[in-house]
Amino acid sequence: MSVPVSMSALKAGEKGIIAAIRGGPGMVRRLNALGIYEGKTVTKVSAQWMHGPVIIRVGATDVAIGYGMAGKIIVLPEAKALP
């Protein structure tokens, strides 16, 4: 079983299922408008150096969000297949 982590803690290329969004109603509405909501599978594409924007893939769309906002999105990382 995977341990919940923030979206900002994932490494580039890792996928996860959104378990919770720990932000105010305005932030939740903004993320929902971008297609980011609980139960959705997302992939962290990249993050910029020094806590810059985090790029995540939702479906076929790449979305850039702030590092702080990414830290409030809690995901369950996908289990990796053992070699």
80 pLDDT higher than 80: no
d(CA 40, CA 11): 18
In the chain, where are the structural domains located?
5-77
| Per-residue pLDDT reduced to its tens digit, 15-73 | 999 999 999 999 999 999 999 999 999 999 998 878 889 999 999 999 999 999 999 99
Residue 14's pLDDT is 94
CATH classification number, 5-77, choose in 3.30.70.260, 2.30.30.90, 3.40.1350.10, 3.20.20.140 = 2.30.30.90
- Among residues 23, 48, 49, the alpha carbon closest in space to that of 37 is found at 23
- The pLDDT-based confidence of 1 (bands split at 50, 70, 90) is low
Token reading at 69: 């906002």
Token reading at 15: 């996928």
| Per-residue pLDDT reduced to its tens digit, 3-12 | 999 999 999 9
